[in-house]
Chain A
Amino acid sequence: MGAFVFRVFYRSLALMIASAFAGSVVIFLLLRMVGGDIATIMLGTKATPESLALLREAFGLNRSWLEQYLSWIGGVFRGDLGESYTGQYVIGTEIAQRLEPTLILTFGSLLISIPIALMVGVYSAINFKRWRGVSVDVLAQVGLAIPQFFLALVFVIVFAVRLGWLPATGYVSVSIDPLVAFQSMVLPITTLSLGITAVFTRFVRTSMIEQMNEDYMRTAKAKGHTVRSAAIVHGLRNSAIPITTTGVLQIGALMAGSVVVENVFGIPGIGRLLLTSVMTREAITVQSLALVILLIILAMNLLIDLLYGFLDPRIRHKEGRK
């Protein structure tokens, strides 16, 4: 099994690296091909030619696109992403500082959503003919339709304003005060994970319903296992597969959602920095930030791919016969 997992890992890793490069090219080109010259974007249409020239020098915008791209990517590997235009912060350091809350938020949401989706999806599948199964599915449907920012605002109304149980905004690093950090993450993680959980739940459910009709399940039932244990033993692994296939889409949604959630809950993470950089037309910061976000998405996809390789019983069986 070990050798096989490595093979899956390397293949996925290669794909991830290829996607990362492709994505970086897309980001790089988008910023240069659309909307005009970067210096004018950053300094405004009324900037003097001298200040434009200075900016171009400072950010190396006079070099050919290929040179700029290579220099940027080289910097990424070295960890040097340059300074913000106002010179107030070093982009690399700022991103590193903000990674903690964003990663806690996104990974936390992902980790919570998977087990919940499995449990709820299976439950809803087993009971798909009864009211309790149907109502759970309806709930998932509604959960899918709620925009994250709206959910965030509703949570703020209920839990922060009306009940005062949890803080509405703000974040303190785990290293400074873990209790406050945890408290301030409860609402954001719940908000972010709800949508993802709803999607996963529905996929688990449909997959489970299919499984329940498959021959091997009937055999298991005939052997005397209850539907429930059969579901857990055999159906679960197969049901997890649709999570991996849809996971690709959901990870992107997670990162996109983190931009919104960080904004509403005032969490100083990567998503919030992206938004402020966009608003202040800091094209260079946006470039690196977009790449970092893309890398996080791809890394999470890699994780899911591994999970897929781990869980797919047919692949494991193949391995077993080796």
Chain B
Amino acid sequence: MKKSLKLPGLIAVALSAALVSSTMAFAATPKPGEVGSTTLRASHPQKPTSWNYLQDGTSALMVPTYLNIMESLFETSGTGVLKPLLATGVDVSKDGLTYTISLRKATFHDGSKFDSADVVYSLQKNKTSVNGVINGPLAAVKSVKASGPSKVIVTLSRPSNAFRGGLGKPTTMIAPEGYFESANVGKKLIGTGPFKFGAFRADIDLELDAYSGYWGTAKPFFKKVIHQFRSDEAATISALKTGQLDIVGMLLGAGVDQVKGFKGDSKYQTFFWPSTSASYLFLNPNTKVLQDIKVRQAIAHAIDRKPIITAAVGGYGKPSCVVVPTWTSPWNSTYCPYPYNVAKAKALLKEAGFENGLTLDFPYLTLAEFPVSFEILVAQLSAVGITVKGRGMDIGTWVKEVWSTPTPVYDINHITNNAALDAYGCKLTTPPYGNSILCDPVFEDFISKNDAIVDPSKYTAAMKAQAEYIADQSWMIELFSKNEPGIANAKLTGIAKYRTDYEMDYRNIKWKK
């Protein structure tokens, strides 16, 4: 009996030793969520419907990829200064028409070398994008020529402030030459950034894998970033609390209310990024009843912004009547042509001949803050006699039916979007879409003239006039300027203090010492 126990006994000891040592080894490597772990788990409420940024203009596509995977020629600092990225510098001619851009050496994720041919290709392609942030600033570009492998010369048809700013935006995202004709288009992004496009599970997450061939000396700390698409914000916050997430990258709607609960908690840090987004109502220029300005003014007078801000975005917004890019924009103002006034709204409707009310079609988005704002807007409009027929829509359908089409189906709608009005010029895209379908000649005039103004104070005055004109016309009724809150593990550092709504910068995040 004893003999036959010896061998099994030895095996048992060996197995337990192996088990113990592997457990210890397993325990020694920090697991995600623990300080030192090389995997970062972050979330964002929106998921992309496509990875082709020429055809898809949603920010959800840009957020995990801009700066992480795809790099532009420059990036914009929090104070608005251009910092070199794929470009090392730029020389602008005195007349503002010629930009000579010097490029650095870098390698794409597919191994090909980055050079001027890729810049020429990418800028030509970006001009065709439906995303206003990408194509808008390229409107004045006449030609892009390579001058040797590390220099590009861009010639404009007129000076353009937008182009100058666009150097540091997704406008100048560089893809390898021939990318949009390759099999990867729409499925996988190839860029020069510190992270590669990794495993993608539609609806669930995108993995970013650190790229060992990155040109920068400062390589990111994290080897893997799991960027999760989590539209259920309450569930996301629970996941943060139970240690399944390290960063909640943005809260748009339902989760915003819970942020104040984290403020005193030392385990977490909260952010309130001033956003470049404006939240506004927009009316369909093709709807007959809305072509009478009195009706549009009445709609503007019917809106009380405060309850919408309180209920839909937890109070993290600043009411405004003008569409301007940031809270610190030099041409921001308190100009408000049609403040909240129910009596005035009713009187205007009566004057326009709609004493007995009218009906508007409102296909509203069923995500983020929009269902809540929808309900409040319905009540406010009905108080002045306007009946709203609402139908809920997911973002994919909404983009197809309301936004990315020259013949949209809606009367009134609400969106939070890029506040740079210039992106809505109707000559910029063919066919026009979104708010570009307005094609207001006065507005188009502003766009073509303002951008070319070289003197800064004259430029500011002109931009102010442009914003006030839009407010007067009341086709786009600004509601508020948003703060976007986020929450993260307190032990993380390097999270950007300033960001636009089309980026989530993972490059500098690491654990505190």
Contact = CB atoms under 8 A, between A and B. Distances in A.
B312 to A, nearest CB: 21
B186 A87 contact: yes
Interface string B262-281: 00000000000000000000
B405 A46 contact: yes
B286 to A, nearest CB: 11
A89 B202 contact: yes
Interface stretch (B113-121, B232-240, B344-352, B505-513): B232-240
A43 B366 CA distance: 18
Contacts of A86: 49-50, 396
Interface string A57-100: 00000000000000000000000000010111100001001000
Interface in A153-189: 156, 160-161, 164, 166-170
A168 B405 contact: no
A97 B202 CA distance: 12
A164 B242 contact: yes
A167 B239 CA distance: 7
B239 A279 contact: no
Interface in B481-507: none
A46 B401 contact: yes
B238 to A, nearest CB: 4
A93 B6 CA distance: 50
A45 interface: yes
A94 B238 contact: no
Contacts of B407: 46
A121 B252 CA distance: 48
B16 interface: no
A272 B235 CA distance: 15
B203 interface: yes
Contacts, number: 67
B389 interface: no
Interface string B173-187: 000000000000011
Interface string B200-223: 011110000000000000000000
Nearest to B234: A168
A103 to B, nearest CB: 18
B50 A88 contact: yes
Interface string B396-419: 110011000101110000000000
B238 A44 contact: no
A266 interface: yes
Contacts of B396: 86, 280
B394 interface: yes
Given A46-B405, A87-B186, A168-B235, A268 B203 contact: yes
A303 B396 CA distance: 40
A167 B238 contact: yes
Contacts of A166: 242
Interface string A34-67: 0000000001111100000000000000000000
A87 B48 CA distance: 12
Nearest to B48: A88
A164 B202 contact: no
* Interface range for B: 20 to 34
B241 interface: yes
A72 B433 CA distance: 36
Interface residues of A, number: 29
B291 interface: no
B242 A167 contact: yes
A170 B400 contact: no
A94 B397 CA distance: 21
Interface string A245-276: 00000000000000000000010100011001
B157 interface: no
Nearest to A97: B201
A20 B243 CA distance: 43
Contacts of B457: none
Contacts of A221: none
A280 B238 contact: no
A46 B409 contact: yes
Contact of B232 (A46, A161, A266, A280): A266
A281 interface: yes
Contact of A156 (B236, B238, B401): B238
Given A45-B401, A86-B50, A273 B203 contact: yes
Contacts of A281: 397
Given A46-B407, A86-B50, A280-B397, A161 B238 contact: yes
Interface in A273-287: 273, 276, 279-281
A169 B239 contact: yes
B244 interface: yes
Contact of A168 (B204, B239, B397): B239
Contacts of A156: 238
A45 B242 CA distance: 44
Given A44-B400, A47-B400, A266-B235, A167 B244 contact: yes
Contacts of A46: 400-401, 405, 407-409
A114 B145 CA distance: 73
Nearest to B401: A44
A169 B229 CA distance: 13
Given A170-B244, A279-B394, A280-B394, A84 B409 contact: no
Nearest to A165: B242
Nearest to B236: A169
A179 to B, nearest CB: 11
Given A46-B407, A46-B408, A94-B202, A168 B242 contact: yes
Contacts of A266: 230, 232, 235
Given A86-B49, A164-B242, A273-B203, A169 B401 contact: no
B241 A170 contact: no
B95 to A, nearest CB: 42
Interface string B295-337: 0000000000000000000000000000000000000000000
A178 to B, nearest CB: 13
A279 B239 CA distance: 24
Contacts of A47: 400, 405
A84 B239 contact: no
B397 A164 contact: no
A183 to B, nearest CB: 9
A46 B50 CA distance: 20
Contact of A169 (B201, B203, B232, B366): B232
B130 to A, nearest CB: 14
Contacts of B235: 168-170, 266
Given A46-B405, A47-B400, A169-B232, A88 B202 contact: yes
A315 B148 CA distance: 88
Contacts of A161: 238
In the complex, the 9 A-B pairs of residues with the closest C-beta atoms, listed nearest first:
A168-B238, A169-B235, A44-B401, A88-B202, A44-B400, A89-B202, A279-B394, A167-B242, A280-B396
Given A169-B232, A266-B235, A279-B366, 9 more contacts: A43-B400, A44-B397, A45-B409, A88-B49, A88-B202, A160-B238, A169-B239, A170-B235, A268-B203
Interface of B: 49-50, 186-187, 201-204, 230, 232, 235-236, 238-239, 241-242, 244, 366, 394, 396-397, 400-401, 405, 407-409
Interface of A: 43-47, 84, 86-89, 94, 97, 156, 160-161, 164, 166-170, 266, 268, 272-273, 276, 279-281
20 contacts: A45-B409, A46-B400, A46-B408, A88-B50, A88-B187, A97-B201, A161-B238, A164-B242, A166-B242, A167-B238, A167-B244, A169-B232, A170-B235, A266-B230, A268-B204, A279-B366, A279-B394, A280-B394, A280-B397, A281-B397
